[in-house]
Structure 1
Amino acid sequence: MARQARMVIPGQAMHVMVRGNNRETLFFTAEDRRIYLDWLKEAAKQFSCLVHAFVLMPNHVHLLLTPMKADSLAKTMQSLGRRYAQYFNQQHHRSGTIWEGRFRSSLIDPSYFLRCQRYIELNPVRVGFESSPQESTWSSYGSHVGQKVEPWLVDHESFWKLGNTPFERQMTWAGFIKEGAPHWEDRQITETLLRSKPWLSDTLALKLLKDRPDQMAIRHRGRPKKDKTVVEATKRASWYIIDSVPD
């Protein structure tokens, strides 16, 4: 059976996930994780992908990327995957594939971008790996709230709109994270990602997919409205203080 072509639009964000083969561990040490991120940074730069958010779990990875060319995503993930697999097998004295098939990917509606970024940065908490996002050493959360800045990350336009200064954006983002995501939202993001389908509003789906029935987004009830919700969530959580924001 022929592979279903991925839907990639240069300049539009993609949610990407890779898993360990048979859900086996991909990262045993902090060095493993740092090497993976270093090589992600290099591959993304080489093949013109912007990296917005990430989380490294023991046996899988979530990324939020914007490919700038039609082949940017595939080349970035292929290069990173091959390079890390060679390192991992050599370092841990094993052989064979370490990945569970092809990476999963989902085209993200720009108006849903911040919800997807929240999904990624809350992943360790959602699965019970950490009790709070502040404890997640290997995610982009710390960079987005000023705790541990990763200068190679590129903030999306949606994130820039959260405030006029870095501190305002950090506080707004912390409030949105503190608000948490509704269960139906997590379910939608998970389902579209696992099936490599776009997560789009009805309006954008009709515009982008009218000639692509094979890529029609999964239809859901309770689709999110345009993201005034971020500001509203921040107002409700305006008391939330980030301990490590620099002066």
Structure 2
Amino acid sequence: MARQLRIEYKGAVYHVVARGRDGAAIFHDDTDREAFLRTVGEACARGGWRVYAYVLMANHYHLVVETPEGNLSTGMKWLQNAFTRRLNGRHAGWGEVFGDRYRAIVVEATGGGYLESLVDFVHLNPVRSGVVKSRKDGALAGYAWSSLAAGYAVAASDRPAWLAVEAGLQRYGLADRAADRRKFVARTQALARETGGEVTGPNDGAQNTLHRGWYWGSPAFREKLLKRLERPSARLKPRAAQSIRPRDRRKAQEWLDLARKHFGVTGDFAKAPRAARVAAAWALHSRTNESQAWIADTLGLRSAANVSQQVRSVDQGTHAALAGEKRWRSWERLVRAGA
């Protein structure tokens, strides 16, 4: 079977689906689901992604994700590898968690109702799959592992910053306020009652295209995508060249410059005090898609494995080098806020 087309460009929106290996469960309990959503949040912070909708099922997940930097492949590689390590570590497992390649269908998001129909498609998945058996009001909104319940139904302070609820509501002519959020949830629940979760798109059945196609949009959108494929820059680069993208490097340089200013580093960063190098490594790892090997080389740390170890210690709050660094807490706040 031919591999699915991968088209990447700045501002692209995708419907991403990934399934467990051989149909096996990805999520064994709520702790696994919470860990996955945290990992998605980290992927968004690293790659600048915005998520319009998601749903977690037992053996697969759906994401509707926008990539302002055109970096879906890099981010998805990190997301699935990171979650696999974490899941295997928690359950003393080994090997692959996800089967085959993830599917990523490019979506027309500039009009025509395609993005809106896709958000509906994702939110209605629990009804369509039979996990939510009742079509009564409240049943679908009670499914906790969906952006309908955990995002669109709650105030901004109660949902993750990476979830683009305000932008999503605007697509339906609604504002991010309690009354309009209730309207959105009621509208989605009405669709569940009326259709059983079978969403019909603007020009074609969303069900068929979203499961089998390579794009979701108008004929004109399809032509634009085909023209992109004719350009060498639109095709994915060989595997060896995919790890570094020009925008990622500019982003990394911005964080290095911020770290220099914050910690008073001049000259070669690799010769800076250890606390500054560790703090910069943590920022680069959590806010960019740069490889651990590049971070190690840039900051004078021993190896990629050493970077991983340093970052883990920072996340756990146990790194000795930062304990006495007066500027660490303000740096931590700056990094977590995304500068």
Shorter-chain TM-score bucket reads: 0.7 to 0.9
Selected match of 1:149 from 143, 147, 159: 159
1:171 equivalent in alignment to 2:182: yes
2:97 aligned residue: 98
Separation in 1, partners of 2:123, 2:221: 25
The worse-fitting range, judged by mean Cα deviation, of 162-171 and 18-27 is: 162-171
The structure number with the bigger radius of gyration is 2
Which TM-score applies when normalising by structure 2? Answer: 0.56
1:12 aligned residue: 12
Separation in 1, partners of 2:88, 2:121: 30
- The one-letter code of the counterpart of 1:45 is A
- The one-letter code of the counterpart of 1:179 is A
1:193 equivalent in alignment to 2:201: no
Which is bigger in relative contact order (C-alpha 8 A, separation at least 6)? 1
Separation in 1, partners of 2:189, 2:199: 17
Which TM-score applies when normalising by structure 1? Answer: 0.76
Separation in 1, partners of 2:11, 2:93: 38
Selected match of 1:136 from 131, 134, 143: 143
> Unpaired segments of 5 or more residues in structure 1?
214-247
Segments ≥4 residues shifted beyond 6 Å:
none
1:124 aligned residue: 126
Q: How many residues align?
A: 212
The equivalences for 1:45-84 within 5 A come to 45-70=45-70, 72-84=71-83
- The one-letter code of the counterpart of 1:12 is A
2:141 alignment partner, SS class: helix
Deviations 1:108-153 (A, max 9, x none): 1223111111111111111110233122111100220227533331
Cα distance change of structure 1 residues 44 and 125 upon mapping to structure 2, 3 Å threshold: same
Q: Pick the structure with more helix per residue.
A: 2
The Cα shift of 1:210 comes to: 5.0
- The one-letter code of the counterpart of 1:114 is E
Deviations 1:49-81 (A, max 9, x none): 1112111111000001001122x2112211111
1:30 aligned residue: 30
> Unpaired segments of 5 or more residues in structure 2?
231-339
Deviations 1:144-182 (A, max 9, x none): 022753333123645224224523431331233123175
1:209 aligned residue: 226
Deviations 1:199-236 (A, max 9, x none): 111232234435659xxxxxxxxxxxxxxxxxxxxxxx
What is the percent sequence identity of the aligned residues? 26
Contact 2:16 2:104 in 1 (8 A): yes
